[in-house]
Structure formats: structure tokens, C-alpha cells
């Protein structure tokens, strides 16, 4: 390699984005060829021209210097390949690198994709992708605190298997005494797979046959979704709670969701009076998948609404006193308006919904304890409990067999999207039908006044039903 050298240099001028690209300079017989690397600096002063590396003043110095070292080594690998073929020139090396044969940084690509999701306002997926990137970066960080880059060429089934093993050792953030659930690990790999797929199909970074997920598979496990039976629901309803206190409100929230076919907590918290029609229906668009829900309000649900309605209420007011009505995101009433909120405002909205959900679930656990229920009660269980109630009432299985009882939410949502016809209104009403009270003494008096033949006819009809 005496006749050829590999060095780094910083561009003398900033590009259109105001950043300074770092170039790999390959020199042969005093003739240099420059190839742009994947790293750019915000400030020219962060480059050390003597050591030909990024100064520690740049927060990402260690990570980016490691990336540059890998790109230099990749270029040297191309040189060795060409040397064996008798065609080792700086120009040929550049051609081979620019042809896409040099692997790019997967980490940089993944972070860029994560930022795109945030910029597009897709906060739900942004959180998943950001969590994945954080876990991967932690895995790639050595004992000295230096994070090493991950190139697309380094991602094979062996790497995926090692990363999976590492994830099984991580602690659950909510329950530090436990490790990550296998389904959480599956979600992490779903994100990994999606990023690789996009790199193949959209950005043509690697060929399809190089996709390591063609042979690497990871599966979650079916979990037993807890649900309350009719007796447990009645015990919750029978609790003597002080009207107006937090735990009393949280019981109302849970039961309202239960009576309305299991409204998801994010949608429930954001309900406005405009979502309630004058003819006794609830109409809203789900935030998760934008499907429209249109359901009849059964009597128990109407009674809960009566607690929160007052003469001065406006259509745009939140129904339940949960979110801050003066928050900037509260100005967005419809789902369409929420969709176009700036990412930072939307992130604040999700953060407040998450905090309020945690508060509600904390109170629901107190309710379970008071009612003598040993199940881990949460708001989401209202959805599964509704499905159980529907089955117990004999509602056709085609309408409820996939509702919330499965581990896949896609199956659940497929059912929920079809639960809004007139036929289903009747089914929903039948689940929560309230039997009229009967005056037993009056009934006995009536029966005594009947003749034997009339009594026989009454018993005959009772048995027939």
C-alpha cells in the first residue's frame, strides 16, 4: 500500500445546508481523489486538521470518528480487492465505492427515518422507532462508553440473533424487577425489519437478496387477556364511592368505555360533547386508525353522561374533566385538526394523554382492591370485558370472536370497524338491556285471582319460553 494513501479532510466551504462535509482523500502517485463520507459537521472549528479527526467539542465526536474509521477501512478493502485483480487505482476505488458497493451506516439511516416520522406528526410510530434506536445504540456502546456504528453490511442473521439475546437481558422500564416481555422484543424487531425493508424498496441501499429478515424470524406469544365477568362488573358498580372524587370519576370512565363497546382510552379522554348526537348516539373517529365509530348509547352510558352535562356546556368542550382545556392542542377538535398539529404540540398532547391514562389506571387498581377483584384492572380491560359480556349474552360469534380476545390488535380493529350497523345497535342494546322491576306481591295477588285453567295456561306459556 506504499503507493496509495487514505486520509480525511474537511471541505473548505459549507454546503447549501450550511454544513461542512468530510471527505475521504485517496492519493496515488501524488494525484488525489476525493469521496464524500456520510459525516458532516455543523462547525468548521470541530475538525482537527492535524489529527484528521473530529474534536471532542462535537457531542457526537466518538461516534462519528468511529464511522469515519469504518469508511476508511471499507475503502481499503476495495483497494485490496482491486489489487488482487490488478486494477488498483484511486479512480477505480472511487468508482467501486460510488457504485454502492460500500456499505452505508444503518444507524444514521434509522435515526433519519425516525426523525421523518416525528416531522410527519406520526408520534405513535416515532416513539416505537426512537425506542428501538435507543436500544440498538446501547447495545453498540462498549464498556468505555464509545458507541460503534452499524453498517448495513454487518447486519446478518448472526447479528440479529446476538441482538435478540441482548434484548432478553434488558429490564422492563415500568417493572424493573422483570425483563422485557417477548412481545416487546417482537415489536422491536418489527421496527428493525420495517427500516431494512424501506432501505431496500424505497432507497435502494441494499439488494433484496441481502435482507437478513428473509431467513431470520421472531415470534411473540399469545397472552391471556384479562377480562371481568358480569359479577365483577356488578361489584364495581356497587362500590360506595364519594361522588365527585377522583376514584368515583375513574369508575365512571371505565364503565362508560365498557358500555360503549370498549372505547380506547386515547379516544375516550378526548371525547367532546360534539361526539354525542341528539338522537342518543356516540360518533367519533379513532385516532389510531382513523376509522369512524357510530354507536347507539345504551341507558347506563346515558346516565353516566348526565353526571357531566350542564346547561352551559359547549359542543367543543371535553366531556370528561381529564385534559387541560386551555392547552394548545385542545384547540384541535376534529381528528383532521389533530392530524395537522405541529409535531411538538402533538407530542405534548400524547404526553398528557399518557400521564392521565397512568393516573386512571392507578385508581382502577384501587377499585379492583375495594371490589375484591384480583385481576390487574386497567382501562384497556373494559374492551375485553365488553367482548366477554357480548358472548355471554349470545351475540353472534362472527361479531365478537376476534374482538380484543386476540393478541393481534389488527384483528380487533377489523371487528371494531364493522360494529356500527343497525343490526349491531340492537346487539349492543341487548347486551346491556335492563329488566323492568317487578312488584312480586302484586303479581302473587294477580295469580291468586286466576282460575285453575288460567293458571295452567300461564305455566304452559312460561315453560314454552
Which CATH number fits the domain that encloses residue 208? 1.10.150
Stated length of the chain: 465
Lowest mean pLDDT among 12-16, 247-251, 264-268: 12-16
- For 63, the domain range is 4-102
Distance CA 117, CA 126 (A): 5
Query: Do 174 and 31 fall into the same domain?
Result: no
- Could you tell me if 46 and 28 are in contact, meaning their C-beta atoms sit under 8 angstroms apart? no
Query: Do 323 and 257 fall into the same domain?
Result: yes
How confident is the model at residue 190, as a pLDDT?
A: 95
Query: Do 277 and 295 fall into the same domain?
Result: yes
In this structure, is residue 447 part of a structural domain? no
Query: Do 35 and 111 fall into the same domain?
Result: no
How confident is the model at residue 408, as a pLDDT?
A: 46
pLDDT of 197 over the 60 cut? yes
- Nearest to 379, CA basis, from 230, 256, 229, 270: 256
- Could you tell me if 221 and 181 are in contact, meaning their C-beta atoms sit under 8 angstroms apart? no
Query: Do 421 and 322 fall into the same domain?
Result: yes
More confident residue, 26 or 128: 128
Q: What is the CATH number of the domain that holds 279?
A: 1.10.443
Query: Do 191 and 95 fall into the same domain?
Result: no
Other CB atoms within 10 Å distance of the CB of residue 284? 22
pLDDT of 438 over the 70 cut? no
Query: Do 111 and 98 fall into the same domain?
Result: no
More confident residue, 107 or 433: 107
Query: Do 184 and 138 fall into the same domain?
Result: yes
How confident is the model at residue 414, as a pLDDT?
A: 38
pLDDT band of residue 245 (cuts 50, 70, 90) is very high
In this structure, is residue 441 part of a structural domain? no
How confident is the model at residue 405, as a pLDDT?
A: 32
pTM for this model (two decimals): 0.64
Cα dihedral sign for 171, 112, 183, 169? negative
How confident is the model at residue 267, as a pLDDT?
A: 94
**Percent residues over pLDDT 90 in the chain:** 52
Query: Do 97 and 112 fall into the same domain?
Result: no
pLDDT of 113 over the 50 cut? yes
In this structure, is residue 306 part of a structural domain? yes
pLDDT of 42 over the 60 cut? yes
Other CB atoms within 10 Å distance of the CB of residue 30? 6
Q: Per residue in 74-103, pLDDT tens?
A: 888 877 777 776 666 767 766 666 655 455
Residues forming a β-bridge with 281 = 296
Number of structural domains in the chain: 3
Over residues 40-46, mean pLDDT: 93
- Kindly report the backbone phi and psi dihedral angles of residue 459, in degrees, each rounded to the nearest multiple of 5, phi listed first: -65, -35
pLDDT band of residue 430 (cuts 50, 70, 90) is low
In this structure, is residue 65 part of a structural domain? yes
pLDDT of 191 over the 80 cut? yes
In this structure, is residue 462 part of a structural domain? no
pLDDT of 104 over the 60 cut? yes
How confident is the model at residue 108, as a pLDDT?
A: 87
pLDDT of 418 over the 60 cut? no
pLDDT of 401 over the 50 cut? no
Query: Do 182 and 47 fall into the same domain?
Result: no
pLDDT band of residue 175 (cuts 50, 70, 90) is confident
In this structure, is residue 170 part of a structural domain? yes
Q: Per residue in 303-322, pLDDT tens?
A: 999 999 999 999 999 999 99
Over residues 416-427, mean pLDDT: 52
- What average pLDDT does the chain have? 85
Query: Do 22 and 114 fall into the same domain?
Result: no
pLDDT of 419 over the 60 cut? no
Amino acid at each position: 500500500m506504499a503507493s496509495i494513501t487514505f486520509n480525511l479532510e474537511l471541505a473548505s466551504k459549507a454546503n447549501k445546508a450550511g454544513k461542512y462535509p468530510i471527505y475521504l482523500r485517496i492519493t496515488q502517485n501524488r494525484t488525489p481523489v476525493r469521496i464524500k463520507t456520510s459525516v458532516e459537521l455543523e462547525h468548521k472549528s470541530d475538525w482537527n486538521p492535524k489529527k484528521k479527526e473530529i474534536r471532542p467539542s462535537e457531542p457526537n465526536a466518538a461516534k462519528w470518528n468511529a464511522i469515519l474509521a469504518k469508511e476508511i477501512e471499507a475503502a481499503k478493502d476495495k483497494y485490496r480487492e482491486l489489487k488482487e485483480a490488478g486494477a488498483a487505482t484511486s479512480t477505480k476505488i472511487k468508482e467501486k465505492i460510488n457504485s454502492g458497493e460500500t456499505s452505508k451506516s444503518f444507524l444514521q439511516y434509522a435515526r433519519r427515518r425516525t426523525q421523518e416520522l416525528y416531522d410527519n406528526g406520526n408520534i405513535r410510530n416515532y416513539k416505537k422507532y426512537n425506542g428501538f434506536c435507543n436500544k440498538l445504540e446501547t447495545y453498540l456502546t462498549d464498556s468505555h462508553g464509545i458507541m460503534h456504528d452499524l453498517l448495513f453490511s454487518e447486519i446478518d442473521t448472526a447479528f440479529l440473533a446476538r441482538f435478540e439475546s441482548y434484548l432478553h437481558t434488558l429490564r422492563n422500564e415500568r417493572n424493573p424487577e422483570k425483563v422485557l416481555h417477548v412481545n416487546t422484543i417482537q415489536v422491536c424487531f418489527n421496527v428493525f425489519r420495517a427500516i431494512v425493508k424501506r432501505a431496500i424498496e424505497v432507497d435502494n441501499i441494499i439488494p433484496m437478496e441481502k435482507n437478513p429478515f428473509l431467513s431470520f424470524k421472531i415470534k411473540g406469544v399469545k397472552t391471556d387477556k384479562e377480562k371481568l365477568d358480569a359479577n365483577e362488573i356488578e361489584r364495581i358498580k356497587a362500590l360506595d364511592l364519594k361522588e365527585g372524587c377522583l376514584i368515583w370519576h375513574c369508575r365512571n370512565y371505565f364503565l362508560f368505555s365498557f358500555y360503549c363497546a370498549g372505547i380506547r382510552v386515547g379516544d375516550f379522554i378526548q371525547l367532546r360533547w360534539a361526539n354525542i348526537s341528539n338522537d342518543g348516539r356516540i360518533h367519533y373517529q379513532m385516532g389510531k386508525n382513523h376509522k369512524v365509530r357510530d354507536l347507539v348509547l345504551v341507558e347506563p352510558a346515558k346516565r353516566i353522561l348526565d353526571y357531566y352535562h350542564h346547561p352551559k356546556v359547549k359542543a367543543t368542550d371535553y366531556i370528561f374533566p381529564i385534559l387541560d382545556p386551555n392547552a394548545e392542542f385542545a384547540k384541535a377538535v376534529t381528528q383532521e385538526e389533530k392530524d395537522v398539529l405541529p409535531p411538538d404540540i402533538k407530542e405534548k398532547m400524547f404526553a398528557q394523554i399518557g400521564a392521565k391514562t397512568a393516573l386512571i389506571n392507578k385508581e382502577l387498581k384501587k377499585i379492583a382492591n375495594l371490589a375484591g377483584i384480583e385481576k390487574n384492572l386497567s382501562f384497556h380491560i373494559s374492551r375485553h370485558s365488553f367482548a366477554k359480556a357480548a358472548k355471554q349474552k349470545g351475540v353472534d360469534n362472527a361479531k365478537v370472536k376476534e374482538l380484543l380476545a386476540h393478541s393481534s390488535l389488527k384483528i380487533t380493529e377489523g371487528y371494531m370497524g364493522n360494529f356500527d350497523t343497525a343490526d349491531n345497535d340492537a346487539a349492543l342494546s341487548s347486551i346491556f338491556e335492563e329488566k323492568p322491576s317487578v312488584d312480586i306481591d302484586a303479581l302473587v295477588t294477580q295469580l291468586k285471582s286466576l282460575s285453575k285453567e288460567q293458571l295452567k295456561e300461564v305455566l304452559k306459556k312460561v315453560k314454552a319460553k
